[in-house]
Amino acid sequence: MSHKEIDRLMVIEQCDNRTIRQSVAARQLGISPRHLRRLLKRYRTEGAAGLVHRRRGQVANNHSGWRVPNINELRSIVELQCYHPAINLTIFPNTPIYYYWSSSPYAASNYTAWSVSFGSGYADDVSKAVSRFVRLVRGL
């Protein structure tokens, strides 16, 4: 349990033992009295485990696997027949012609990583301190 959940548990236990009133407990927790009653009901049926956030361990918004692509994935969408932009605008419309980060580190230095320009199509290593665009991918 998180510290917030432990604090919540102590207030819910006091409320369940009738040491404090439900209205006071709701104010202490910053929730509505109705929400407090729902938490009390879960506490009484499931114990302390009922107060743990229901989304714990789940990926937010039912989306999974968003990540920065590696250099090979990023280079695979470069359109070598095109220049400024070096990307298929039918598939990737409105792509700014700037450099984009890959998740691949540059082997010669811990301080650099690979990036790809969708202006020229070139891949280059650059300091991780430099600002670049990010294109996310989902999956594997």
Question: Terminal CA-to-CA distance of the chain, rounded, Å?
Answer: 31
- For residue 55, what pLDDT is reported? 64
Global pTM value: 0.53
Main-chain dihedrals φ then ψ at residue 112, nearest 5 degrees:
-130, 160
Read off the pLDDT of residues 39-93 as tens digits, 9 standing for 90 and up. 999 999 988 888 877 666 666 665 667 889 999 999 999 998 888 889 998 888 8
- AA letter at 8: R
Query: How far lies 55's CA from each of 42, 59, 82, in Å?
Result: 15, 8, 45
> What pLDDT is recorded for position 66?
81
% of residues, the chain, pLDDT over 70: 90
Cα separation of 66 and 63, whole Å? 8
pLDDT at 140 over 80: no
Q: Report whether 114 contacts 102 (CB < 8 A).
A: yes
